[in-house]
Amino acid sequence: MSDTAALVPTQGTDYAAALAAPPVSNLRRIGGEMFAWTDHNPVRGALLRHLATQFAGPGRRVLVAGPHADDLVTALTDGGATVSWLIRSLGDAENTAREHPKVTVLAGTIVKLDPEEKFDLVVAADGVERLNSTEGDQMSAGELLDRLAEAVRPDGVLLLAHDNHLGVHHTVRLQPGAREAETAAWYPLDDHDPHRPASSEQLTDRLTAAGLTVDVTYAAFPEPAAPTVLVGPALLGNIGSPLRPRLGTALAQAFALGYRGRAVLSDPRRLVHRALRAGAEGTIAPSWLVIARAPGASAAPPIPGDELLVGDVRGTFAYAVSTADDGKVRTEVLASLEEPTERDGLRRVAQPSAPGADTGYVLEERLLHLCATAGLAELRGELARFESWLRGQAADDTLSGPVALAGLADVFITPSGLTLLPTRWEPIEPVPLDTALVRALWEFAVQLITSAQPHPWPISSSAVDLTATMLGMVGRGISDTEVRAAVDLHVLREAADLDLSLAAQQALTLQLLAVTPGTAPVDIEGFRELSEALWRQRYQASHLLALMEWTEQIIQSRDNALSRMDREIQFYRSGPAGKAIVMAREAYRVVGRDGKKLLRKRRERKAGN
């Protein structure tokens, strides 16, 4: 949970203005506050905001422990709750007190929190790593968990996130010197702490021993600071659940957005995909989000947990996917967009839908399997089915709505046909059918090449050639104009997700147009994938050198054959004197050649003696 911070004052701070600023009445210094310090990267996300506001309301007291996003605290105060916010940095606490006059800001460490002060809701979504302070007594992770549990009054709720040291984010982490740059470097809550829960079961046991009842434990992805996918206990490890395809797609999108442009040891999507197939996603989850209650006078029923929650990092958008009693899949919007979001010609989908079928498979996973096994007949059938379905969604050869941006990973094939999984964006203006089809297959071709996936056409020189091959399997051609339009549409979707500038969009377009078998991944910079790309480049270079050498040998052989044929023609076309001259010349050439070989062998024999 810890992230980079500075032991020195933040650059550009106006200390004269800070000293001249009027004192704030909603700031309480409880002790242990840290000076000349600031905590960066607060935990954020629409899912945290949704869960926290469920247990807050008018007349309820809430404690927010640690750095959290401002919008989460604002939502709690707007709901009528009385909020106290514990912040260990004095400078951060002062700024927060000015920006949130309705919040009581407690500057200091949780050690100094009054044990008699109880709260109806304690939110510690940032974990316990940033609740200690250098200006006071140090507490172990277990003691910090106990202190949070003590702050919950009877019938109150604890919303806690706990970092998993076995999580995929630590496994793929590639950040030399991270220990020296972390905010907990002066007191690392690491693997050597015997009291730190190392699994969700140990976390549950610790909270139970502290007097709480754990109702729900979610596995949070893709990283603790910004959980956008929460997997409930009913879905964790349940390989037979009809929600598994939706879970795989949601996790792939979450990791693609969360890790884009970041240097990692390996692409985390591969590890997560294998964990999903083994039902071990809870083991490698970056963190666990626990909802626990303190026993009280009222026998409150257990808090129900959703099977799958998906949200946004920056906005307020969140929805739940669950299985109904009849086995069908249902989608419910939990937190809708406050206002329509439009970026770069695209509109954020405000009402996602999920297919109701309980059986089926994701088209992309099926195609990857067929490519790996060279099942060309079945591959042609799946591509033809997708092309026919896409054409059936078109009106006047144009597509509108989310289907216009659907990739192969967004299509779910059920016994009754193809349907669309929940997507994030849709175009404002209709998109030509050919552009949408080329973009979907081109995106799949880029994935095959950059991730070194096996496929039946390893000698394809570029993603465009591979796309043309797949389009040819469904009886369609491709032009340079269609390729450029498809790439531009893909870049627009990336720009909407990542807020790319025009320069960044142009650079991404050039990078995507230049995808060849030796190209590194264009989204997540995994060291393993970069090494694989480097190997492929060397292999291609060695193959080209061997081909050049073979070509030179063939040319030399043909030149020798032509020379021999020319001498034979001259011999047969000449008279007796000419034939004698030709024979003498040929004898002289043979004697000279063999004589040189004999002399070379003698020299080598003498040198050996």
CA angle 149, 152, 157 (to 5 degrees): 100
**Residue 249 domain-assigned (yes or no):** no
pLDDT band at 530 (very low <50, low <70, confident <90, very high): confident
Q: Dump pLDDT digits (tens) for 462-478.
A: 899 999 999 999 998 88
pTM recorded for the entire structure: 0.84
Q: What is the pLDDT of residue 400?
A: 92
Quote the pLDDT of residue 215: 92
Are 12 and 94 part of one and the same domain?
A: yes
pLDDT tens digits for range 184-230: 555 555 667 788 899 999 999 999 999 999 999 999 999 999 999 99
173 and 29 inside one domain: yes
Query: What's the average model confidence in pLDDT over 25-29?
Result: 92
Asked if residue 3 has pLDDT above 50, the reply is no
Is 40 within a domain? Answer: yes
Listed residues 260, 277, 305: the one ending a domain: 305
Is 125 a member of any domain? yes
Residues 50 and 151 in one domain: yes
pLDDT number for residue 11:
38
Same domain, 519 and 583: no
Mean per-residue pLDDT for 269-280? Answer: 93
Q: Report CA-CA distances (Å) from 34 to 4, 31, 80, 165.
A: 16, 9, 30, 26
Mean pLDDT, all residues of the chain: 86
Sign of CA dihedral 441, 443, 444, 445: positive
Residue 351 within a domain = no
Find all residues with CB under 8 Å of 221, minimum gap 6, and list them.
Answer: 227, 228, 229, 230, 231, 251, 254, 255, 272, 285, 286
Most confident of 68-77, 259-268, 321-330: 68-77
Q: What is the mean pLDDT of residues 233-251?
A: 89
- pLDDT beyond 90 at 107: yes
> Could you tell me the two tokens for 565?
């044929």
- CA 315 – CA 317 distance, rounded (Å): 6
Question: Which of 523, 542, 557 is the endpoint of a domain?
Answer: 523
Statement to judge: residues 517 and 597 lie in one domain: no
Same domain? 366 vs 466:
yes
Summary count for the chain: helices (H), strands (E): 18, 24
Would you state the pLDDT for residue 50? 92
Q: Which residues contact 215 (CB under 8 A, 6 or more apart)?
A: 291, 292, 293, 302, 303, 305
138 and 216 both lie in a single domain: yes
Please check whether residue 323 lies inside any domain of the structure.
Answer: no
Confidence category of residue 242, pLDDT binned at 50, 70, 90 = confident
The answer to whether residue 549 is domain-embedded is: no
543-581 per-residue burial string, b: 16 or more CB within 10 A, e: under 16: eeeeeeeeeeeeeeeeeeeeeeeeeeeeeeeeeeeeeee
What pLDDT score does 351 carry?
A: 79
The confidence band for 445, taking pLDDT boundaries of 50, 70 and 90, is very high
The answer, yes or no, to whether residue 126 has pLDDT greater than 50, is yes
Answer yes or no: is pLDDT of 171 > 70: yes
Quick one: DSSP state of residue 198? -
pLDDT in tens, 391-419: 999 999 999 999 999 899 989 888 888 88
Number of domains the chain is built from: 3
Q: What is the structure's pLDDT at 6?
A: 38
Residues 202 and 126 in one domain: yes
Residues 422 and 298 placed together within one structural domain of the fold: no
Range of the domain at 406: 361-523
User: Do 23 and 154 lie in a common domain?
Assistant: yes
Residue 280 falls inside a structural domain: no
Domain of residue 172, CATH code = 3.40.50.150
Point out the least confidently predicted range of 299-303, 567-571, 592-596: 299-303
* 188/457: higher pLDDT: 457
Same domain? 517 vs 593: no
pLDDT digits (tens, 9 = 90+) for 340-392: 788 888 988 887 776 666 678 889 999 999 999 999 999 999 999 999 999 99
Mean pLDDT of 22-26: 77
Residue 206 lies in a domain: yes
Is the pLDDT confidence value at 572 over 80? no
Co-location of 462 and 597 in the same domain: no
C-alpha distance from residue 316 to each of 225, 307, 312 (Å): 16, 20, 7
Nearest to 45 by CA among 130, 166, 159: 159
Cis peptide before 42 (omega within 30 of 0): no
